[in-house]
Amino acid sequence: MKKHFKDILIRPIVTEKSMNQTADGKYTFQVIPNANKFEIKNAVEKNFKVKVEKIATISARGKKRRVGKYQGKTSDWKKAVVTLKEGQKIEGIFEQ
């Protein structure tokens, strides 16, 4: 099944560290776990109309959680740090 570029990016990750990286042209997104770098690059370029230079992906395992006697596990998820080409910028969602 082919993935649509709007389905690849789940949400931007807005933390102190990720906001500091925006000055260097690096933006962080949560993406679907089975997305590859080419799909992430196409999704960012089509959604935000920018040129992507580099992508780093990080897969995070879900953690065990317990509430009273019940045990569970949070979902596994994937993060992508997207570096844009010089002079490119994503407006709107990452502005402070």
**In the chain, what are the domain boundaries?**
5-84
* pLDDT band, very low/low/confident/very high, at 92 (cuts 50, 70, 90): confident
Per-position DSSP letters for the chain, written without gaps between them: -PPPHHHHEEEE---HHHHHHGGGTEEEEEE-TT--HHHHHHHHHHHH---EEEEEEEEEPPPEEEETTEEEEPPPEEEEEEEEPTT----STT--
**Quick check: 37 pLDDT over 80?**
yes
pLDDT category at 60 given cuts 50, 70, 90 is: very high
pLDDT at 7: 87
Full-model pTM = 0.85
Q: What is the mean pLDDT of residues 45-69?
A: 95
Pick the CATH number of 5-84 from 3.40.50.12170, 3.30.70.330, 2.40.170.20, 3.40.50.300: 3.30.70.330
Q: Which residue has the higher pLDDT, 96 or 62?
A: 62
Phi/psi for 2 (5° steps) reads: -80, 135
